[in-house]
Chains A and B, each alone.
Chain A
Amino acid sequence: MLSPKPMTHALIVGHRNIMKDTVDKLHELSLLHIDDYNEEETGFNIGKPFEKASEVSRKLVKLRSLTSLLELEKKYTTPTLDEIPEEFDQKLEELDDLVSQKTEARKDVEAQVRELETLKNDLLPLAGIPVDLELYRGYDNLKVFVGSIGVNIKPEIEDITSSFELFTDSHSSTIALFVPIGHEEAVSNILSNRSFKELKVPDVHGLPSENITKIDQDIEKLELKIESIEEEIIDLKEQYSEFILAGEKKLSVENEKLEAPLRIATSDHTFVIDGWVPTQDFEILEKSLNEATDNRINISKLEEKDFGSAEPRDPPTEYNNKKFAQPFQELVDLFSRPKYHELDPTIVLFFTFPLFYGLILGDMGYSLLLLGIAYAVYKLVSIPTVRSLMIVLIVCQIFSLMFGLIYMEIFGFPLAGYYTADGAFQAGLIPGFMTIDLFVSPISNEMIQYPLHRQYVIDTILVLSVVIGLLHINLGYLLGFLKVHRNHGFVEAVFEKGSWFVLQISFLLLALGYLGYIPIWAGLAVLVLSIGMLFRGEGVQGPIEIPSFISNTVSYTRVAAVGLSHIYIASTINMISLEMVMPESFGLMTIFAILVLILGHALNTVLSIIAPGLHAIRLQYVEFFTKFYEGGGRIYNPFGNLK
């Protein structure tokens, strides 16, 4: 369970005339992880795709472009075609033409709309000037200035000449100025001094305002046209979505098979497939391939080293967990797939992740709510990753409910009544259910009670979280010890990981020495010993990491702290809304109070996934994994396993 599935390196060799049968069978079996062949000096070449591959990939491109043009969503549950029907090609061509026709038409109309909008924008500044657009051009003896200007230009023009015509639109500060051509230079100088900005007069007829009205009408008509084209496209989408998606799926499979030779080494007469198969399935693979090719194929087991002269590659990693722990593989994958020779921490995560989550949350109200939500999402969604994460969430809620039995809280309300430090009585939700004193905490002088009200035993739970953290970290070192022991032997393991246990013993001895129970040199001696072992095991890096051991340990106080902050948020929401509903002010405030209560707890429910989840996973990834886990393995991805 702690190791990935054992893999066998298989080398499949045969004559090229059985290559197709072999590839088809391998695809059907979906067992062999093919290591792509990259031309090394072995005398083999990369194979050429089978016949029809280019045709199939051409169709596939067409289908995929249709998928994106029609904005179809690929669904996990789309059924695939059993066989490609005879009329498939014809139907595809027709559909392709139809869709490109429609999308082209839509593009054309959209371009027209854009053109009209540009024209309208050009016309808008001129709208306030009641001059026919034709009158702006075509003069031999007149110069026309059209543009915007911030000041009244009339007096300055009058200084130059009296024969001019000036139209102004005070709203848009647009002017149209007509002057004899002889005064062009003088006028243009004045205008440029007054930061005049020239406007383009569009080449159309009629009054600007009339033109604008007409353009608006045209745009409206064109938009209706776009709408109708879009409706047609939607019709097509509804009618053909299954055809396209199922076809795409089927052809993808075909394509993968037809292009498989690109991953295979071939010579003039033979082919060699290099890959990995789970050891338990090797015999099935051997038997099925022999059956499919009348025993004309040779399948051999190889040492781990690859075929060819390339650097040997690690075997791919496939998890080997019991069904109940499998959803937690997603959490490991989120970090990184384990290497083949590494320990697979999934089964440990199955216990520790929900444990920390439950310790932090521990509120029965939120847990039951989230349990319901997670179950509903699990039932409604078909994406495997999401389903796995929902199972993880459900397991977390079960742990949280168990701690809920210790804390006895529902949405921040205590179920049992208790006396606060200053002697005031705090009623619980269950009448008559009273908190009972158990014993005085050995850590501080806080009274441990049942149910445990975390906000009154802060010191105790802080220390308790550190203790749990120490156990967790030591579990990490233990797994690290096992890993090094397995791969490099016992002595290495003692120096590399065992030294950390010795270090902790030295801390304990130092503490005892400080308290005067034993001489202080005993602790110091063990400390020096442990640092020496660390240096021998991990080099300079080892002793440097000692401070991080301490900060990692203290980091576990978050289990207590985040849990407390969660209670405080919940009880603050309750306090605010309860204070708003005083019996005498029943009315509008009651509605607000209910709103505060619902919105507040909704927010806190979302936080109940994020905060405990993120902190619990962080404790695994940062504090726990760093003690033994590297990750970075290759994912076992058998040929034929279409995602």
Chain B
Amino acid sequence: MTEPSIWTNPEGWKAIGAALAVGITAIATALVQREIGSAAIGAIIENEALFGKALILTVIPEAIVIFGLVVALIIA
């Protein structure tokens, strides 16, 4: 009888997949939000009434990590 290999344990692969789904999407969101966030702050300083619009633009890429989280939840 062969030893059970860690490479063939589906649970492990699932966990790695879930981690990648959240991790990579989080990095992607962060990269985009860095750009949008700094531009949004600049716009708000020019005109405070833009706060609402700036907030929306900043949270739009949040969807990426949320979808990553959803995928992770479905995998795990």
Contacts and interface: CB of A to CB of B under 8 A. Distances in A.
A456 to B, nearest CB: 12
B69 interface: yes
Contacts of A618: 55-56, 59, 62
B59 A614 contact: yes
Contacts of A462: 70, 73-74
A618 B52 CA distance: 10
B52 A336 contact: yes
B56 A557 contact: no
B28 interface: no
A334 B44 CA distance: 12
Chain B binding surface SS class: helix
Contacts of A617: 55
Given A335-B52, A336-B52, A561 B73 contact: yes
A562 B69 CA distance: 9
B60 interface: yes
B19 to A, nearest CB: 13
Interface string B48-66: 0101110110011011001
A555 B52 contact: no
Interface string A553-585: 011011011101100000000000000000000
Interface in A602-619: 614-615, 617-618
Given A336-B49, A458-B73, A459-B74, A562 B55 contact: no
Interface in A538-558: 551, 554-555, 557-558
Contacts of A111: none
Interface in B21-40: none
A204 interface: no
Nearest to A617: B55
Interface centre among B53, B60, B66, B67 (most CB of A within 10 A): B66
Contact of A336 (B53, B59, B63): B53
A621 interface: yes
A551 B51 CA distance: 24
Contacts of B52: 333-336, 621, 631
A622 B66 contact: no
A335 B66 contact: no
A51 to B, nearest CB: 36
Interface in A218-244: none
A551 B63 contact: yes
A561 B63 contact: no
Contacts of A335: 52-53, 56
Nearest to A331: B52
Interface in A307-355: 333-336
A561 B67 CA distance: 9
B44 to A, nearest CB: 12
B66 A561 contact: yes
Nearest to A465: B70
A424 B56 CA distance: 44
A458 B74 contact: yes
Contacts, number: 53
A555 B67 CA distance: 8
Interface in A150-174: none
Contacts of B60: 622
A445 B75 CA distance: 16
B56 A622 contact: yes
A132 B70 CA distance: 79
Contact of A334 (B55, B70, B73): B55
B66 A555 contact: yes
A558 B66 contact: yes
A622 B59 contact: yes
A334 B51 contact: yes
A459 B71 CA distance: 11
Given A618-B56, A621-B55, A621-B56, A561 B70 contact: yes
Given A334-B55, A618-B59, A561 B74 contact: no
Contacts of B56: 335, 618, 621-622
B16 to A, nearest CB: 18
Contacts of A560: 70, 73
A33 B55 CA distance: 30
A568 to B, nearest CB: 10
A345 to B, nearest CB: 13
Contacts of B73: 458, 462, 560-561, 564
A565 B70 CA distance: 10
Contacts of B51: 334
A554 B55 contact: no
Contacts of B55: 334, 614, 617-618, 621
A415 to B, nearest CB: 23
B51 to A, nearest CB: 6
A621 B58 CA distance: 12
Contacts of B63: 551, 555, 558
Contacts of A565: 69
A397 to B, nearest CB: 22
Pairs A-B, 3 closest by C-beta atoms? A335-B52, A558-B66, A561-B69
15 contacts: A334-B55, A462-B74, A551-B63, A555-B66, A557-B67, A558-B63, A561-B66, A561-B70, A562-B69, A564-B69, A615-B59, A615-B62, A618-B56, A618-B62, A622-B59
Interface of A: 333-336, 458-459, 462, 551, 554-555, 557-558, 560-562, 564-565, 614-615, 617-618, 621-622, 631
Given A458-B74, A462-B73, A561-B73, 12 more contacts: A334-B55, A335-B52, A335-B56, A336-B52, A557-B66, A557-B70, A561-B69, A617-B55, A618-B55, A618-B56, A618-B59, A622-B59
